[in-house]
Chain A
């Protein structure tokens, strides 16, 4: 059976979630592997959620927020980026495939970009194959 990845995207309410909405209203297709969880700001995404997602078997995790300077709360996305870098560097250090963890800036008007990025990311994860390293081992 073809590998069918699971991808979780945390999308901020103001830009990326709206961008995903726009992808919808524009009927731009992207793989149904992507599931979006709405957060108010990318800055509220707890690294614990990302690790939990990998542990529960997600093959890829995306944090999507407003472009730098566009944050509805002015700076939340900078915090998101900071935590993203810390976790990403750690994951890389321990030998995890850190490419499975992505930060994306997508505005409310970038429905097309959102769809394209989700498509490209899904393709990449498909090439990488299933994420086994942090997946919970069921005894």
Chain B
């Protein structure tokens, strides 16, 4: 019998996502982390592209979720020793290295670290600062346990003396444990290449040449200079920064592959540096600008146009240092060599496999590829060569956070597939202490004001705000905390609740949109109802948008006063539980839809698959070969057969979804086909509606028969219609005014088809006119191969694009060659256009049907571009495939599994717990006029008869499972007899009053 537990190796963002998905869908998870703290690379990042979200801010809630999840056991500071057994039943030996601190006793107070006399290089800050020998990797670390670096410890014993908790144990020994799991997910991430390998750039020799991750730390508010950008040699603010791309990537000497993320992160570094130093001049030296992900192209355009970042196409040959510490860069551009001086040089280093990858491979018995990453198959991008072991994130190929997160969810789906029968067997349910009954108690409010490091404290005087809070009525306790979201602060809040018998909590920190849940749980853990909590945003809405410290502090006080005013009237609310219909609706029967349906069925979920065409397959029907020589048609046949024969999948062809009503766990949809109209019940929806190839208006397409798209060209080649002379034009309909995004797949498609043509006709002339060749990751080798096989690549400038015309029936292409500095006129047999991938027309309709948003380009907009790539903000609705954004087959498959994994977190529960913020009728005031009933957008209200002492009375009543808590009813009701708790008439009115009363309070 398989084991209902999973081992996740690596506690970075991928491992965290896999662990959370699995734990939420009924499996015990062991999360193995080699460092004392989870968080991985993402914990070191200052911001994340392309939204410039604060990295720690979006990661920290996830860290805490893992830290407090009852089904996840973090095994930190440990390494894998050996694995026995096979898929479904592995015995894993793990070596736990000593922390020299008892994690149970340590409170994370940090007294030991302050007292420690040792000064050692701080790895978290990439060697740019120092830490003590007993240390915490970073302030928000989970688990929040200090550990001793024995290689640096001098054994003085001071820490043991200062530790009040008696947590320090110098004699702790290494320990070996064995755990039993059904499947394993490998998410060890990657390491950054050692820039010393490119000695011509002077890294490690010239102090002002730093790596991108060091720069990231420099930019960070929690970094070595608290966010003030200073160069290492003299601490001066750099005014001219040079960023060199492809350091140890796309490089014959080190790594041939492209690291995929550096172009966009360098763009991010440039934007953030400009925000820190508005008059700085920033130059990025690129080979090709590879901003291919969702929203990345627009991001780079903004960097160039709004921030004045300069991109140079040219490889830097050497960096030299001047006496004043400045650096001279020599580079080639437009066939000439240039020299330019910079204050600071940043090397955008690429990814390499993690150091212990070989050991993992040996222990786990899996294959690595030619570059030392985990070998995967493009049709099985999550599976390793060994059954039961899966891989996600950078370990299999360099990739960014959203792709890693999507793969991590995918891996969770795959890892649970073969142990699905054991779901729920090894988990425990988190028990909260019984809720204290606060009815009848006068409000006793606790206020906690957050420094958020320096994010808030550098502008708002948080200590004064806390002092001010103490003067407000009913506030019995107020404090200020460095990071209110950190584990030790949470403990302090809980302690204060107990010590001061608090019954309302106000936290003034960041935005409730990311952190509300965390604090609500803190209240629950302290025995308070989670809704006795009010969040005040003094970061996004105050310290980050204002500069005048005095005024910002005053505004923070006003906001706190308003929060306290609202908190007074908070009432305990109960979460709402609803049953789950354990069935799924998948819209779209292409690769993503079929993959999702099949995986859902594999996990025992009955699935309705709706396809608008008469055949399943979508775009996959038009792909005949892949760049790595696989057969998509075989994949298609296999998928269609499996889907159509699976008893749990009901396929509707020539069909559309006419209506979807209901809410997470309980949807009812009408599926209309030519023959029937059927109403089905399901708990979740997966949107996999795909996208399509753009029909170009450019370059005589549709006017001349020998101007074709790549899809049409592929069809020609497969039918042995093999021309001798072809010019391909890239970015047709992409990266322009109308469609600012990059279609991601066209560069590889052009090279794929060029190589195919060369294979069929080695003498054929193929020229590719491009703007940037975006063969990211391991695709780079095909770019190289194509060049070696004689495919000619010529770059064109978007301001001077190629011209296609017909002269006497002959196709003529005219373009400017930047290297030859000349206009070239060619007469190819065919012009092949790499046309954009554009969203389907039905997206709009589906968006309205499901009440989910589209992005500016018409693709579906996920809940969060970084950490929730396949979720919608609407619960129970998920996104898969190229309806999200253009992507390749393996990436599409990965999103499909990811959507399934996320859907399973709903479908595997008997009941889901819903937010309690719902409309409620104040019966004494209601006189059943019914105005709310007719105004409710979701028909959640009806007039009901109640037996009262006075007889039968008619009053409005709310169906809380249907109610969304929008409050349209409450504003329609003339007497405020229907209210949304937390947003009642009086609460908001009191906030309005409080905002205006601060002056009076301050004058008291």
Contacts and interface: CB of A to CB of B under 8 A. Distances in A.
Given A46-B976, A56-B996, A24 B545 contact: yes
A27 interface: yes
A115 B976 contact: no
B540 A25 contact: yes
A115 B853 CA distance: 22
A17 interface: yes
Contact of B965 (A30, A32, A40, A74): A40
Interface in A14-66: 14, 17-18, 20-30, 32, 35-41, 43-49, 52-53, 56-58
A8 interface: yes
Contacts of B539: 24
Interface residues of A, number: 49
A32 B992 contact: no
A116 interface: no
B988 A46 contact: yes
A126 interface: no
A70 interface: yes
B968 interface: yes
Nearest to B935: A79
A40 to B, nearest CB: 5
Given A35-B995, A48-B989, A40 B544 contact: no
B513 A73 contact: no
A128 B922 CA distance: 41
Given A13-B513, A25-B544, A79-B935, A49 B988 contact: yes
A13 B514 CA distance: 12
A76 B937 contact: yes
Given A6-B996, A32-B548, A45 B971 contact: yes
Contact of A14 (B511, B552, B873, B976): B873
Nearest to B997: A56
B564 to A, nearest CB: 14
Contact of B552 (A24, A25, A32, A44): A32
Contact of B851 (A8, A20, A72): A72
Nearest to B847: A69
Contacts of B966: 40-41, 43-44, 72-73, 76
Contact of A20 (B52, B541, B562, B976): B541
Contacts of A13: 513
B662 to A, nearest CB: 14
Nearest to A31: B546
Contact of A79 (B552, B968, B988): B968
Contacts, number: 139
Contact of B545 (A30, A37, A72, A79): A30
B546 A37 contact: no
A10 B983 CA distance: 12
Nearest to A12: B966
A27 B459 CA distance: 12
A40 B937 contact: no
A113 interface: no
B765 interface: no
A74 B936 CA distance: 11
Contacts of A21: 511, 513, 537, 540-541
A44 B540 contact: no
A75 interface: yes
A102 interface: no
B846 to A, nearest CB: 14
B971 A73 contact: no
Nearest to B554: A32
Interface in B908-965: 917, 935, 937-938, 964-965
B917 A36 contact: no
Given A36-B537, A40-B967, A76-B968, A25 B51 contact: yes
Given A52-B989, A56-B992, A44 B541 contact: no
B380 to A, nearest CB: 35
A73 to B, nearest CB: 4
Nearest to B514: A21
A39 B545 contact: no
A49 B873 contact: no
B792 interface: no
Nearest to A29: B545
A38 B972 CA distance: 19
B547 to A, nearest CB: 6
Given A20-B540, A35-B555, A57-B996, A48 B983 contact: no
A70 B853 contact: yes
A17 B989 CA distance: 19
Contact of B991 (A14, A30, A37, A57): A37
Contacts of B53: 25
A29 B543 CA distance: 10
Contacts of A83: 971
A38 B512 contact: yes
A32 B677 CA distance: 56
Of residues A46, A70, A72, which shows the largest number of chain B Cβ atoms within 10 Å of its Cβ?
A46
Contacts of A74: 851, 937
B558 interface: yes
Interface string B857-882: 00000000000000001100000000
A35 B989 contact: no
Given A25-B53, A52-B992, A73 B551 contact: no
B555 A8 contact: no
A3 to B, nearest CB: 14
Contacts of B542: 32
A41 B938 CA distance: 14
Interface string B753-765: 0000000000000
Given A25-B52, A56-B993, A74-B937, A41 B968 contact: yes
A46 B856 CA distance: 32
A71 B991 CA distance: 24
B985 interface: yes
A109 B972 CA distance: 29
B560 to A, nearest CB: 11
Interface in A90-139: 109, 115
Contacts of A30: 545
A69 B845 CA distance: 12
Interface string B535-577: 0010111101111100110110011001000000000000000
Contacts of A40: 917, 965-967, 980, 983
B228 to A, nearest CB: 15
A23 B873 CA distance: 20
B868 to A, nearest CB: 13
Contact of A32 (B555, B938, B988): B555
B275 interface: yes
A56 to B, nearest CB: 4
B970 A46 contact: yes
Interface in B260-298: 275
B47 to A, nearest CB: 8
A63 to B, nearest CB: 11
A52 to B, nearest CB: 5
Contacts of A79: 935, 968, 971-972
A46 B971 contact: yes
B967, B976, B983 — most chain A CB neighbours (10 Å): B967
B985 to A, nearest CB: 6
B54 interface: yes
A52 B976 CA distance: 15
28 contacts: A13-B513, A20-B541, A21-B513, A21-B541, A24-B539, A24-B541, A25-B53, A26-B52, A28-B545, A32-B542, A32-B551, A35-B555, A37-B991, A44-B970, A44-B971, A46-B970, A46-B971, A46-B976, A47-B971, A49-B985, A52-B989, A52-B993, A58-B992, A72-B851, A72-B966, A73-B851, A73-B964, A79-B971
Interface of B: 51-54, 275, 511-513, 537, 539-542, 544-548, 551-552, 554-555, 558-559, 562, 848, 851, 853, 856, 873-874, 917, 935, 937-938, 964-968, 970-972, 976, 980, 983, 985, 988-989, 991-993, 995-996
Interface of A: 6, 8, 10, 13-14, 17-18, 20-30, 32, 35-41, 43-49, 52-53, 56-58, 69-70, 72-76, 79, 83, 109, 115
